[in-house]
Homo-oligomer: A and B are copies of this chain.
Amino acid sequence: MKTRYINVSTKGNIDIIDITSYLEKIVKEEKITDGILFLSVIGSTAALTTMEYEEGLIKDLKEIFEKIIPYQEDYEHNFTWQDYNAHSHLRSSFLKTNFFVSVTDSKLDLGTWQQVVLIDFDIRKRQRKIVVKIFI
């Protein structure tokens, strides 16, 4: 099994970043015709999923997270560390930090309008590391 890393600079506050091209690059460089990429973003305030990456939906996804798991000053976690990112943690636990993408005939098994995204829920800039384990 081979390991690759994807390093991404994020702005925080539900920063949604399309990482599909990084994955396509790995498929090409590692000459993967058939296999699976197992992705894990390190940390407890980020997540991975897929979406149609277009401006409208990016706004909608941010808004729905604000609505479902809103920022609140009085989450218990905010009294623990005084860093006021409890909502970031909760969103990450809901969406989870891992995802896998399979590869067939040297192409990612995704739809035309489906991109893999890293979402940074933290409230500040971060350098995010995604571990990519490659099974062929």
Q: Within A83-136, which residues are at the interface with B (CB < 8 Å)? A: 86, 89-90, 92-102, 104, 109-111, 113-114, 131, 133, 135-136
A102 and B133: CB pair below 8 A? yes
Copies of this subunit: 3
A35 at interface by CB-CB < 8 Å: yes
CB of A82 to closest CB in B, whole Å = 11
* A42/B89 contact (C-beta < 8 A), A1-B135, A55-B76, A60-B77 known: no
Q: Which 3 A-B pairs have the closest CB atoms?
A: A56-B76, A56-B77, A56-B80
8 contacts between A and B (CB under 8 A): A1-B35, A36-B133, A55-B80, A56-B77, A57-B80, A61-B90, A68-B68, A97-B114
